[in-house]
Amino acid sequence: MSHPHPELGAPPPLPPRGLRVVALGGLGEVGRNMTVLEHAGRLLVVDCGVLFPEDHQPGVDLVLPDFEHIRDRLGDIEALVLTHGHEDHIGAVPYLLREREDIPILGSTLTLALLEAKLREHRLKSYQLTVREGQRERLGPFDCEFVAVNHSIPDALAVAIRTPAGTVLHTGDFKMDQLPLDGRITDLRAFARIGEAGVDLFLVDSTNAEVPGFTASERDIAPALDRVFAQSRGRIIVASFASHVHRVQQVLDAAAAHRRKVAFVGRSMVRNMGVARDLGYLKVPATTLVELRAIDSLPAEEVVLMSTGSQGEPLSALSRIASNTHPAVRIETGDVVVLASSLIPGNENAVGRVINGLTRCGATVVHKGNALVHTSGHASAGELLYAYNVVRPRNVMPVHGEHRHLRANAELAVRTGVPRERVVVAEDGVVVDLMDGVARITGAVPCGYVYVDGSTVGDVAEASLKDRRILGEEGFVSVVVVVDSVTGKVTGGPTVHARGFAENDAVFDAVLPLIADNLERETAAGVTDTYQLQQLVRRTVGKWVSDTHRRRPMIIPLVVEV
């Protein structure tokens, strides 16, 4: 656990007429979104998502928000409000429910259905209340109104949170697609109505704040998909997020138009699309969908595989296909792979490896860089300007994005007339208080990364990750020495064994006499503590390896007295 800003102290007690906002994730990163609002001694949580690990976090499966700030106040939580069903907004809910299982959860129909499938895997039950746009719910001192917004998943919601201390409008993830596939547009009329009544703090999606203009409509990618289907003579594999119902719908429609069958690949894809189909969000053309095991009996020109793994996740279906380790799918010459998603920052290397692996196997890879096969689910700068002009907020706090996105979003707010001192650019753990209509930073709370590693949660610290990085990049060297407890003479060894450093341990022959000489010198000087002798061995080997090989492996010395 770490403190985000050492220069900021702990925040003062919140006055009765104040509203406090603390992001425990999602600021300075794309993922693990979680915001905690406090008023009159009660808490409201908006979203609870995960962040997927990067290359410098080896062995980590997921990264969670840090619950430490609210761990002693779990009983004060009125409810958890979910804006939509993406993993970076709902993925950490099971881990929060482990802390307190009876937290009421509010969300749209699809959001709660996707969450319920996830909770079953964790063997958890929860109290859920389905809400829809236009609905208002009183949650303790928080009066919440839900507003329809358009995103890359159906049923997304913004939420207006009214309290005696002021009104907060949280957009969630949104864009302003004017011709969405499901006909459900972002409700700017509701934004304007809420803005007319007064929005004291506007929390705004920042992901595409650096992108000028307007985000392309989901319908705009249909021609590109149609060209791929018309020109391909082999199998088509489309990789997308497992929750991107609109993208899957377009693939199903294109497959039906070109007389192809579609099979879902990947556990989360099968699960989520099953939920979406059962609820009517996914319309499957008759006879189009088949089981994965049936594809071997079909000609290649009649097959479409809808797969997970568009971000190069190591254990995803597409990654295993690219490495020829998938049990049911092998790439063949003539196959076309469509990466129908954008890159989440930090995943560039993983996706590049997958593209290279697929190409090496003989596939043609179509991606956003060479065809319009993806459009973002987030508002670009032009749409954000519209939102600011419609809402006319008194204070703005950019959310959901890396630091550059937050800064770009802040500048957009200033350009629309929001005073610069009323635009708060915060980070995870930074405390923002709304008092008398003015939002300002008042302190910070401890807020670090919580790692999920297999079945363990929070047991992996930064020191452990550093050790893993050293092991992976520099290798491991063990040194065993036996010394006489009476004379201090070296009676056995030194013996060196290395892994991931060199093919032959003989490279260490030159340092063995140096280790023995340094040990005998120290013991002759009266040093008998084995820990001190082990540190001497570590320093001796470390300096020799650094000077000779320019390497910094992990060195484990063991001095045994006999």
Let me know whether 404 and 480 are in one domain: no
Let me know whether 227 and 199 are in one domain: no
pLDDT digits over 32-70, tens only?
999 999 999 999 999 999 887 655 555 566 788 999 999
Residue 315 confidence (pLDDT): 63
Is pLDDT above 60 for 536?
yes
Least confident of 99-103, 439-443, 471-475: 471-475
Give the pairing of strands 166-170 and 201-205.
parallel
Let me know whether 176 and 189 are in one domain: yes
pLDDT digits over 488-530, tens only?
566 666 777 777 666 666 777 777 778 777 777 777 677 667 7
Residue 1 confidence (pLDDT): 35
Whole-angstrom Cα distance, residue 82 to residue 114? 11
Residue 53 confidence (pLDDT): 63
Residue 71 confidence (pLDDT): 92
> Is residue 224 included in any domain, yes or no?
yes
pTM for the whole thing?
A: 0.81
Let me know whether 151 and 132 are in one domain: yes
Let me know whether 362 and 230 are in one domain: yes
406 contacts: CB under 8 Å, gap ≥ 6: 27, 28, 206, 209, 398, 399, 425
Higher pLDDT, 369 or 22: 22
pLDDT digits over 261-280, tens only?
999 988 888 999 999 999 99
Range of the domain at 64: 19-213+377-453
DSSP states of 324-335:
T--SS----TT-
Residue 23 confidence (pLDDT): 95
297 contacts: CB under 8 Å, gap ≥ 6: none
Is pLDDT above 80 for 130?
yes
Residue 2 confidence (pLDDT): 44
> Of 315, 347, 366, which residue is a domain's last?
366
pLDDT digits over 358-369, tens only?
888 878 888 776
Let me know whether 448 and 547 are in one domain: no
Residue 94 confidence (pLDDT): 93
Contact indicator for 246, 181 with CB cutoff of 8 Å: yes
Q: How confident is the model at residue 463 (pLDDT cuts 50, 70, 90)?
A: low
Domain count for the chain: 3
Least confident of 65-74, 339-348, 478-487: 339-348
Q: Residue 223 is part of a domain; what is its CATH number?
A: 3.40.50.10710
Let me know whether 188 and 310 are in one domain: no
Whole-angstrom Cα distance, residue 423 to residue 344? 26
> Of 404, 424, 453, which residue is a domain's last?
453
What's the chain's average pLDDT?
Answer: 85
Convert 30-52 to b/e letters by CB count within 10 Å (16 or more is b). bbbbbbbbbbeebbbbbbbbbbb
Q: How confident is the model at residue 128 (pLDDT cuts 50, 70, 90)?
A: very high
Residue 446 confidence (pLDDT): 87
Least confident of 40-49, 338-347, 353-362, 423-432: 338-347
Mean pLDDT of 445-473: 64
> Is residue 541 included in any domain, yes or no?
yes
